[in-house]
Amino acid sequence: MSGPHLQPFASLSQTARDLKSGALSALELTQRMLHRIHTLDSQTHAFARILDNSALEQAAKLDRLREEGVPLGPLHGVPIAIKDLLFTKDTPTASGTSVMAGFSPDYDATVVTRLRAAGAILIAKTQLTEGAFGNHHPSIQAPINPWQAAAWSGVSSSGSGVAVASGLCFGALGSDTGGSIRFPAACCGIVGLKPTYGRVSLHGAFPLASSLDHIGPMTRTVEDAARMLTAIAGYDPQDETSLNVPVPNYVAELWNTKDLDGVRIGVDFSYVSDGVDPQVVTWIEEAMKILQSLGAAIVPMQMPASARTLADGWPQTCARECADAHRHLYPARREEYGPELAFLIERGLSVSASDYEALEAQRVTFRQALDQILLGLDAIIAPGMTMTTPTAQRMTQAVESSEEGANFLIFTAPFDYSGHPTLSLPFARDSIGLPGSIQLIGARLQESRLLQLGAAFEAATPTIDYPGIGMA
């Protein structure tokens, strides 16, 4: 093929600019990326299905539109991957299960429609854990972390995280119910954004727990996340949880903050250190120094005590709502379920109304308390995980330990309950070279501020040198 050599680790934003200018052909780029995917997916297991025909048809159409002078969308010609719980018309959406393997929706999820409208090329659907819960169905090979094969690749959005970190797409959509955007982002060394609940439509996304589910971008840069969020955010009358508020141009607003003078970053020193790996605590301390060097003030605060209650209670809420989501399939087709998802559903069937309602009351308490705290702050800093990137085996042991498993959710699950936006940023390396991360938590609907802070932090830290998988 003629033209410039494929740069699989180029930013989504730069690739979009090159496509819009005509420096890159959408068709040629898509062909090259599909070749890379087919060559390397046996090493990564990132994808549930590869959308060769539709991707090539869309790419050819977009090239024609550019040649005709038709106005182009912000993601014109960019190959994007989406998690395989997002409905795609006439293309199977299995949600990581065996029981839904033959399910072909007759409509696209709203976020899929919006990606297409923005000019994105949907190149593949990424693999996920069964039903977006803890483990993969026994028949499915888990995605492989490109940094180290033995390393955990994160939980349900692991396919999206691996695909982005492996240079198999320029961005991906994931979903987050208890940390499933942020854990893979942390383990794979990429940016992960869980938006405000209701900021991005859930219509056409098969639920794990509908009141906790969020859809968001997973990318290699903060600007890329801003570009994807601009494309998918906004009110959707087909989703009763959708917020009818204007959508900013997150990319245009990204550079409104050139320094962090006057910015206030909250930190609860007990929250970020109790039960946390000392290396992770050191990363938070180093990140705070960088933020201070940019002009930000670090402000001591106290995380509401209900955060712990919600982290501990998350399995009950998740189980109850998951059982409801699967009522048309379970127990009628029980034999097609893997053991972990079946266990979750069975647990959900036994969660009492009073226990569920008690957690809902704690959700309200926590949300209100956090809203009040964030009135005086631009963001809160916390770790992405309680430990450095574990091995897959180590993670299994942690989950099996009731105390350690509950503690692992302390930096993620409370914000799924409250709906506050959170941004996972890659930062530093552990002793064996695996990526680390930090997390910023913002006020509801203040994604612009989070992204501004993230971009400033990103610019002040070394560029990520991703594993050169398949680059030889």
Catalytic residue annotation:
83, 156, 180
Alpha-carbon Rg for the chain, nearest whole angstrom, is 21
Helix 222-232 crosses helix 447-459 at what angle (to 10 degrees)?
Answer: 160
Taking each continuous run of H as one helix and of E as one strand, the counts in the chain are: 16, 11
SS3 68: coil
Closest CA to 115 of 84, 73, 143: 73
Q: Can you tell me the distance from the alpha carbon of 340 to that of 177, in angstroms, rounded to the nearest whole number?
A: 16
Could you give phi then psi for residue 312, rounded to 5 degrees?
-70, -35
Q: What is the largest CA-CA distance in the chain?
A: 65
**Strands lying side by side in the sheet with 264-267:** 47-50, 121-126, 79-83, 172-176, 214-219, 191-194, 422-429, 435-441, 379-383, 264-267, 297-300
- The amino acid present at 41, given as its one-letter code, is D
Q: Can you tell me the distance from the alpha carbon of 61 to that of 53, in angstroms, rounded to the nearest whole number?
A: 12
- The amino acid present at 74, given as its one-letter code, is P
